[in-house]
Amino acid sequence: MAHFSAHNGDRMLQELNCHERRLNTWLNSSPANVILFIEDPVAALRAANLGIPEVILGEIQETINGIVQKLAFA
């Protein structure tokens, strides 16, 4: 797992913020999109075809995996 840094977090948040309006439009277009986002946020971001770089999507996935792992051992 990659080391999380404030810089990586800022970069992820900036990228998501840039696409927030389009993501919300995509989510509101179908209940299935909302379900996908809940079940697999990164797959949903890919399916929404927002143009988020793959490296950022990978960092988001690693962050999610880290949170899940920490919660599993809490």
Please determine, for residue 6, whether its predicted confidence score (pLDDT) is greater than 80.
no
Check residue 53 and report its DSSP letter: -
Residue scoring higher pLDDT (54 or 2): 54
**DSSP assignment of 7-27:** HHHHHHHHHHHHTHHHHHHHH
User: What pLDDT is recorded for position 1?
Assistant: 47
Please determine, for residue 74, whether its predicted confidence score (pLDDT) is greater than 80.
no
User: What pLDDT is recorded for position 27?
Assistant: 98
Q: 12-66 pLDDT, tens per residue?
A: 999 999 999 999 999 999 999 999 999 999 999 999 999 999 999 999 999 999 9
∠ CA 16-18-21, nearest 5°, is 90
